[in-house]
Structure 1
């Protein structure tokens, strides 16, 4: 249950932010049958060959010079080879849930590519992109076996959306170095131990650092001025006072703090004046500070906390417009 809650939030937020394959501003037909598409080559802009038991990209795919989006999710593809000048207009490539171990974009290949999705594969190395023309804005690599991030990644300098969840990284902090344009970064279960203090992320609105053993003292809200969504679930809170660093995110609207070992909520929670939704599932809270009643919360999750009956009554009296969820 805990895993599903966190991952559902991550998926919805990130999927909605990047340019979507099914974006309503695209009027082109979505082809799902390769043979049919080959009969209308010049009219094919979007091709979805998901769940078709493919072990390789069919050669026919490379005949579509106007192709902009290619979806090959849920197949059995193990390796890829791109040749120069193939798929010259391709912008969106998704190869989720395959068996790919290495991924390489050589020079003069996929010049227009801006979104790449390789989640749930068998990658043991970070994708190698040696084509200097490629400038990704979205990269998603969740649930692979990547253990090291490259120090130099020119193709990521314009990156806005980056997902690295569930990779056993030795140097996860490098993810913060790639792009000053980052808007959404997800680092669930990546071995992250501290947040960098060398940059100010002026564009970041969503930050997921859950499932890591992070020193709360390294979380400097002044580096993340626009963050509206913060997920710190499963990040052990050793000293309750350390939570004060979280209350410094002045623009925070959504806070997810599930199972962090919280025994009391600091009065400084009142600093989060823009907070609208808070999740404190599976902690050890018995009471809430009076300061929380000053917030204009729309929703608060308190399931699986030993909340006292007196506190429940106070919450109901002082937060009549707030949807409050307790354990049955």
Structure 2
């Protein structure tokens, strides 16, 4: 086969597979501005508003119906509202290093969620809504104020890793938690 034919075949092959790769690249685009994301909210899959000094959870985020990953780390948010349940495609939620004192029970409406980071907040009560989330695999609750974890965590059947470090959980309670989630790696330290 001559060189010209080889180049033409290589070019045609690239044209055939390129659209699949372009779609994936577009899918992975991370929006870092709420203003930009709201220009075409249905195109937003990943939104990072880390360190934007947000005082409240921006409820307009629910317009991003296809959102799969939301990063609100390093803000001043004090609660996660019930409207969060409208983000039905959300798989990863990062809300560490905020001022959370309350997480709405409605969070259990996020049935596709596999990753949740609520570390370094001001939570005193374990968000009971999490116990019904059967797809949740990774949960980060480090550096909060939990003394007790509810028995209902037994329902977290997909849990593979839970970080409860830097919480004032009594030693005896730690054994009970491990019994409730025998297949999960639990970090208490």
Band the TM-score falls in, shorter-chain normalisation: 0.7 to 0.9
C-alpha distance after superposition, 1:126-169 (max 9, x if no partner): 12216735431000111111111111225522100111111001
1:67 is paired with a residue of what secondary structure? coil
Q: Which residue of 1 aligns with 2:55?
A: 55
Q: Does 1:167 align with 2:187?
A: no
| Equivalent residue, structure 2, for 1:115 | 115
- Distance, in Å, in 2 between the alignment partners of 1:30 and 1:165 is 30
Bigger RCO (CA 8 Å, 6+ sep): 2
Q: Which residue of 1 aligns with 2:186?
A: 185
Aligned residues between the structures:
164
How far apart are residue 109 of structure 1 and its match?
Answer: 1.9
Q: CA RMSD in A?
A: 2.4
Within 2, Cα distance between the matches of 1:58 and 1:151?
32
1:129 is paired with a residue of what secondary structure?
A: helix
| Partner secondary structure for residue 152 of structure 1 | helix
Q: Please name the residue that 1:176 is paired with.
A: 178
Alpha-carbon distance, 1:92 to partner: 0.5
Q: Write the mapping of 1:215-294 to structure 2, written as runs, cut at 5 A.
A: none
Structure 1 residues 68 and 157: CA distance shift in structure 2, 3 A: same
Structure 2 residue runs without a partner (length 5+)? 1-24
- C-alpha distance after superposition, 1:44-80 (max 9, x if no partner): 0000001011111112111111000000000000112
Tell me the secondary structure at the aligned position of residue 175 of structure 2.
helix
SS at match of 2:75: coil
Structure number with the higher helix fraction is 2
Q: Which residue of 2 aligns with 1:98?
A: 98
CA distance in 2, matches of 1:82, 1:76: 18
Query: Normalising to structure 2: TM-score of the pair?
Result: 0.78
Q: Distance in 2 between matches of 1:77 and 1:139?
A: 19
- Cα deviation for residue 102 of structure 1 reads 2.2
Task: Provide TM-score, normalisation by structure 1.
Answer: 0.46
Change (3 A) 1:62 1:84: closer
| Residues 26, 132 of structure 1: alpha-carbon distance in 2 compared, 3 angstrom cutoff | farther
* Structure 1 unaligned blocks of 5 or more: 1-24, 189-328
Contact 1:72 1:96 in 2 (8 A): yes
State the alpha-carbon separation in 2 of the partners of residues 84 and 46 from structure 1.
Answer: 15
1:32-51: CA deviation from partner (whole Å, max 9, x where unpaired): 00010011212100000010
Within 1, Cα distance between the matches of 2:169 and 2:161?
18
For residues 156 and 133 of structure 1, do their structure 2 counterparts lie closer, same or farther at Cα, with a shift above 3 Å needed? closer
Larger radius of gyration: 1
